[in-house]
Chains A and B, each alone.
Chain A
Amino acid sequence: MTVMATELVGTKKLVVGWFSFTCCEDSTILLTELLNDHLDQWKKVVEFRYFKALKTKNEIRELDVAFIEGAISSPKQAKEVLTIRENAKYVVAVGACAVTGLPSASRNNLVDEKTNYKLYWYFSHFDYSDKVQKLSEVIKIDDQINGCPMNAEVFMSTLNRYLKEFGIVH
């Protein structure tokens, strides 16, 4: 997708948040690669209000679309995604860990007693949940982009769809 300046409807921008939870952040890396070709155009139509990988001044406020990668490993993370949900019109799960939980949820399948005894030290010192959850087990999601990392073409078409839905481009 290339958004041409002539397609712009007005000066309003799509307010986007990009969030990462438990994962390898491969979709974030892929997004930074997509910026090579698209940043100049996106700056005209997208306001990245939360994007911790790229900026210090971030806000979770009145987001049009929140893109969330990663699985949910703790009560603290669950609370954070609830806050995002309350402040976003749409939430999109991005990449395999957000969509399916795996591979970040691999620890859910560690059943060996001796292994779990070792893991217990970490669970008792930090606020781990009993099970790692996919995003839809914690909050309602409106959309998902599969892939490990996310499928770039589906991400582009999803973003384009929201740009049209919010009346930012024709």
Chain B
Amino acid sequence: MHTEDITIDNITKVEGSAGLKVSIVDGKVSDLEFIVKDYRRFYTEAVKGKPIIAVPSFLSRICGTCSVAHLFAALEAIEKSQEIKNSEQTMLLRRLAYDGLMIRDHALHLYFFVLPDVLGIDSILDIPDDPNSKGHQLLHDSFAVKKVGSELSTAIVGAIIHAPFPTVGGFLKLPDQTKFPDLVHQLEETRPKVLKLVELFGIWEETLVRNSDYLCLAGGNGYDFLAGEIVNSNGRRVPEEEFHSFLKSVVIPYSQAEGYVFSDSHEDYLVGSLARINLNRQTLNPRTQTDTAKYLAKFPSNNVFHNNLAQAVEILQCIDDAIEILQSIKVVDEKPVKKPAKAGTGVGVIEAPRGILYHLAEVNGSGMITNYDVIVPTSQNQINIENDLKKYFGENLQKDREILRLEAQKIIRAYDPCMSCATNFLTIEWNEE
């Protein structure tokens, strides 16, 4: 019997820390472990006993890059637990800030983490200073795209990370509307750069096709990251409140993060941009649809590398959505909705950049958290990632080991996993006696 291990100790150009171990016996993959290495912080335990007003800001610390996603999911869960209905203005401003998050977060992934794979180099730090080189131009596009996303978020919620203005029931401070025309101008100036990015990933030939089920929010207001029901590829619809029972958590003994499969079929599934574009592309902003029609024709797609193309299309979607809102909204002075604390349970489900994000808050009559639960996208994608890698290694074991390591990292990176998000929770279900 001939045995061999192919390992990657540190997968780079991703958020957080992860590794890979592939065991081969007699020329076949016998085992494959995608290992999330970040240590758990147990934030869902730490919030128990805390007042609800303090919890969203604390839980935004689950993740640096998608901090605003955790902030908004926590706000939704707590607001529902208190039967607080937000104003239309609050929801529009949250949508605007979220457009900024998506623009910056997707741009970080596509330009800083994946672009080197497209250019065949190790790092953006290796891109030559020649202004005529394609890499140099794309890198400088990235600065402008990321910056416009950051400036949009900062204008609406006060910061790109751990934003200070949003609170339960509204905003502590409202944005200065006089800045909006300049933001519209910057967003318009950024559009051509993003169209170049869409083309870059539209013609990138990397391919890994495997039949997956896809899961995302649908049925909100247009292409909506913050509202809707959960749907899968077969059109099954699940209300936010029932999402948890739709899934089954799987303890993965070598990984710091749990995985998830469907509770009925026990099959894996994929969440994120690819799922959203596969299932919701007909609701994209009309301008986005027109300008990306050539590449939208590639969807629905089972090629995991098209997650990158889907992210690029979503950057344009968020630019076009933000322009429309900025040009139409009239910000009026209003205070956050306040109600006396009551006992209740609330669920907040939104689309984080990497896919469905679930927060559940149980609150007592004094307005203190008694139980909290979070399910993040990277945990949900973990088993799908492993199954994609098993397929890839199973079909390519004749290749040079360094090429296999490089290609495996490209596949993992295509998912844009976030290990920081995936390791905050206490998920083992215990039989209470």
Which residue numbers of A lie inside 8 Å of B, CB to CB?
A: 20, 22-30, 32-33, 35-37, 39-40, 43, 48, 51-58, 73-74, 77, 103-104, 106-107, 109-110, 115, 118-119, 121-122, 125-126, 128, 148-149
Contacts and interface: CB of A to CB of B under 8 A. Distances in A.
Contacts of B146: 32-33, 36
20 contacts: A24-B64, A25-B63, A25-B65, A26-B65, A30-B161, A32-B108, A39-B143, A52-B10, A52-B12, A55-B123, A73-B39, A103-B43, A106-B41, A106-B46, A107-B41, A107-B45, A118-B430, A121-B428, A122-B40, A128-B39
A67 to B, nearest CB: 15
B139 to A, nearest CB: 8
Interface of B: 10, 12-17, 38-43, 45-46, 58, 61-65, 67, 104, 108, 112-113, 122-126, 129, 139, 142-144, 146-147, 150, 160-162, 253, 256, 409, 420, 426, 428, 430
Contact of B108 (A29, A40, A52, A118): A29
A103 B58 contact: yes
B234 to A, nearest CB: 35
A107 B46 CA distance: 7
B161 A29 contact: yes
A131 B65 CA distance: 26
Contact of B129 (A43, A55, A74, A77): A43
A103 B162 contact: no
A115 to B, nearest CB: 6
Leading 8 A-B pairs by shortest Cβ distance: A26-B64, A55-B123, A106-B46, A73-B39, A36-B143, A29-B64, A24-B64, A25-B64
A139 B146 CA distance: 35
A97 to B, nearest CB: 9
A148 B41 contact: no
Contacts of B160: 29-30, 33
Nearest to A53: B13
Contact of B13 (A33, A56, A104): A56
Nearest to A69: B64
Given A37-B143, A125-B253, A149 B161 contact: yes
Contacts of B12: 52-56, 58
B112 A22 contact: no
Contacts of B63: 24-25
A148 B61 contact: yes
Contacts of A26: 61, 64-65, 67, 161-162
B39 A74 contact: yes
Contacts of A125: 253
A37 B147 CA distance: 9
Contacts of A103: 41, 43, 46, 58, 61
B45 A115 contact: yes
Contacts of A126: 39, 256
B39 A54 contact: no
A22 B64 CA distance: 12
A30 B122 CA distance: 22
A28 B13 CA distance: 12
Given A33-B146, A36-B150, 12 more contacts: A25-B15, A25-B16, A36-B144, A39-B143, A56-B13, A103-B41, A104-B41, A106-B41, A107-B45, A118-B430, A122-B40, A149-B64
A87 to B, nearest CB: 17
Contacts of A56: 12-13, 122-123, 409
Nearest to A126: B256
Contacts of B256: 126
Nearest to B139: A39
Contacts of B124: 39, 54
A77 B38 CA distance: 10
Nearest to A122: B40
A54 B42 contact: no
Looking at A24, A27, A48, A126, the one whose CB has the most chain B CB atoms below 10 A away is A24
